[in-house]
Amino acid sequence: MSDIGDWFRSIPAITRYWFAATVAVPLIGKLGIISPAYFFLWPEAFLYRFQIWRPFTATFYFPVGPGTGFLYLVNLYFLYQYSTRLEAGAFDGRPADYLFMLLFNWICIVITGLAMDMQLLMIPLIMSVLYVWAQLNRDLIVSFWFGTRFKACYLPWVILGSNYIIGGSVINELIGNLVGHLYFFLMFRYPMDLGGRNFLSTPQFLYRWLPSRRGGVSGFGVPPASMRRAADQNGGGGRHNWGQGFRLGDQ
């Protein structure tokens, strides 16, 4: 048990709480402590009965059973692996920025869920985080099932296909990928690569609540081509330290 405790405490703080909630809420529903009917995102209950907890519980709940258990474990693994890698890598020392990314993605997914009557939001949020990691490490070669190897930028779409085989639907994965792309485009690609306006910035109250431990966001893998050209022209004196990525399955 001490080994499990040490492993759990080694997880970065935001990922640790997210992971714990994604384990605890399905367990509460499975044991019947609270009826799972209170966990789903039902637009009528949320908008007209003011059951304001539903967007939160729908983010953490997943109906675990004989037909869904493997899909749940696979996505729980993705949550742990890629949220940890982003929080401890690209967003190392910047918990406010990482929490803002999660909040932005979550709000977009909740709005989409209400519009499309999506009752569970766990998979879309996990996939949005995985998509951001894949784009920040897009040229990294990763390994997947059966020894297949490809660039990290294709990983979200490979997972979409594999989850379709396992679970029979791609809507959750597709929404997650699109939301992840929206965040990545507005936060990184449009202002940094295309020279556009910065539409997203972390609110100051998040910095006051979760102060940065060091300046700058680092570890973003390989920068876009135009940024690499600009860095070459400036003698490598760019402002952003994009760092290195991770291979799938690395500890």
Judge whether 182 lies within some domain: yes
Judge whether 73 lies within some domain: yes
Characterize 156-181 residue by residue with b for buried, 16 or more Cβ atoms within 10 angstroms of its Cβ, and e for exposed: bbebbeebeeebeeeebbbbbbbbbb
Do the Cβ atoms of 109 and 90 come closer than 8 Å? Answer: no
Give the domain CATH number at 10: 1.20.1540.10
* pLDDT band with cut points at 50, 70 and 90 for residue 12: very high
Whether the pLDDT of residue 234 is over 50: the answer is no
The predicted model gives 121-125 an average pLDDT of 96
Judge whether 70 lies within some domain: yes
Mean pLDDT, the chain, integer: 84
For the stretch 138-160, pLDDT in tens is 888 888 877 788 899 999 999 89
Judge whether 236 lies within some domain: no
Q: How many domains, the chain?
A: 1
Judge whether 217 lies within some domain: no
* pLDDT band with cut points at 50, 70 and 90 for residue 240: very low
Residue numbers of the domain that contains 66: 3-209
The predicted model gives 121-137 an average pLDDT of 95
Q: Between helices 155-167 and 122-136, what is the axis angle to 10°?
A: 150
Judge whether 50 lies within some domain: yes
Judge whether 242 lies within some domain: no
Judge whether 16 lies within some domain: yes
